[in-house]
Amino acid sequence: MTADPELIVFEGTEPLCRAATEALVQQLLVAAAARGVCSLVLSGGMTPRGAYTLLAAETRLDWARVHVFWGDERNVPPDHPDSNFRMAYETLVSKVPIPPGNIHRVLTEGSNAERAATQYEDVIRTFFSLTAGEFPRSDVVLLGLGTDGHTASLFPGSPLLNEQRRIVAAVRVDRLNSTRITLTPPAINHSACVMFLVSGGTKAEALRAALREPSDPQQRPAQAIRPTSGRLIFMVDAEAASLL
């Protein structure tokens, strides 16, 4: 049975980011206490950036137990202004005592996105000790929502919305003249907790469509995210929720 979305609305972006930080810290603490380690999948975007700034000041986490991954990445070098890794590194990763071996980024130094996707899938399979056909159970996956309804690098009409086998895949987004590497829907949907962080009035229509329109992931990719045995939480501000 897939998870029904939990919707939590906040008056502004700042309380949203505070609540999101507290929620993911609690999720990671429980996971680390149970297994000794925990996994956090990071997202790009302005709203997650605010949460990362707060998380960098968090003192309750033992960062030696936290392993960080990325839900998607642009096929650019890690120091490029468009790099999701760079944003997370500057706002969070570089500011906490996390061991270098716990930082699992997409290796985008080369020009071959398919190779980078394959390498990243191998990294994930090794960390989670997966056998053929298994998907990772990440403890927390953070996601954003685009104005066109995309999440991670799963865009409307993408063939990856029908993917059932791969954990990571490369995809060309022609209208953005961009090549991306992204987790696939089943890789996200096997997670223990998926948190969408959505803010601003420009996201209101996309959020309304994702939560209120009939299911059509090809047109509304965020609807492809429905954890099979985990929580799905939409944490949004009042402006984003204005059409609900």
Q: What is the secondary structure of the chain as a DSSP string?
A: -PPPPEEEEESSHHHHHHHHHHHHHHHHHHHHHHHS-EEEEE--SHHHHHHHHHHTT--SS-GGGEEEEESEEESS-TTSTT-HHHHHHHHTGGGS---GGGB-----SSS-HHHHHHHHHHHHHHHHTPPTT-----SEEEE---TTS-BTTB-TT-GGGG--S-SEEEEEEGGGTEEEEEE-HHHHHTSSEEEEEE-SGGGHHHHHHHHHSPP-TTT-GGGG---SSSEEEEEEETTTTTT-
pLDDT of 110 above 80: no
Does the domain formed by 6-237 have CATH 3.40.50.1360? Answer: yes
Q: Are 34 and 65 in contact (CB under 8 A)?
A: no
pLDDT of 3 above 80: no
Contacts of 237 (CB under 8 A, 6+ apart): 9, 10, 11, 12, 13, 16, 198, 199, 200
* Per-residue confidence (pLDDT) for residue 180, from 0 to 100: 95
* Per-residue confidence (pLDDT) for residue 46, from 0 to 100: 85
Neighbouring CB atoms inside 10 A of 122's CB total 12
Q: Average pLDDT over the chain, rounded to whole?
A: 95
Nearest residue to 183 via CA among 94, 104, 99: 104
pLDDT confidence bin for 2, thresholds 50/70/90: confident
pLDDT confidence bin for 174, thresholds 50/70/90: confident
Provide the residue type at 231 as one letter.
Answer: R
Tell me the pTM.
Answer: 0.96
Strands 193-198 and 140-143 come out as: parallel
* Per-residue confidence (pLDDT) for residue 1, from 0 to 100: 62
